[in-house]
Amino acid sequence: MRPSWESLSPQRELSLAAASRARDEVAHWSVQIPDRGLIEGRIDHRYPQKDELFFVIDKVLEENIGLKTTAWILAWFTGSTNPASSEPFEPSSEREVLLGRDLGIFPNEIKRLELRVIDEN
């Protein structure tokens, strides 16, 4: 997966530390899997209601044998040597894949994502 960054809010706000928040950036990721297809998505974060980090699949384009397979995502964060891992899932558009709860990690701290699939053919 290769990241590309898009700034949603180029303005910088000054605020008190108690009201501070991470920069409003969205990391868009895409992966092309030979003979299977393409998955595109973004990292999202539910905070402060819940501390949940997840990958939202925006688009799935299938080719040849398709993407109807079991997959999971590994995510590496700034300052971490061990990745967080999602539960196994079947890729589909508009699906939210939970990467972790209570990690204290913001989306802009993700440095690498890896999609793994089980080749059932």
**Mind listing the pLDDT tens digit for each residue in 2-43?**
443 332 333 334 334 444 444 456 778 898 888 888 999 999
Residue 7 placed within a domain? no
Give the confidence band of 85 by pLDDT, cuts at 50, 70, 90.
very high
In a domain, 69, yes or no: yes
Judge whether 99 lies within some domain. Answer: yes
Are the C-beta atoms of residues 108 and 25 closer than 8 Å to each other? Answer: yes
- Residue 18 is assigned to a structural domain of this protein: no
Into how many domains does the chain fold?
1
The whole domain housing 90 covers: 24-117
Compute the average pLDDT of residues 39-49. 87
9 assigned to some structural domain: no
Record the tokens describing residue 54, joined without a space: 């997840």
Residue 1 lies in a domain: no
Answering whether pTM is above 0.75, one says no
Q: Give the residue, 28 or 73, on which the prediction is more confident.
A: 73
What whole-number distance in Å separates Cα of residue 74 and Cα of residue 57? Answer: 15
pLDDT band at 120 (very low <50, low <70, confident <90, very high): low
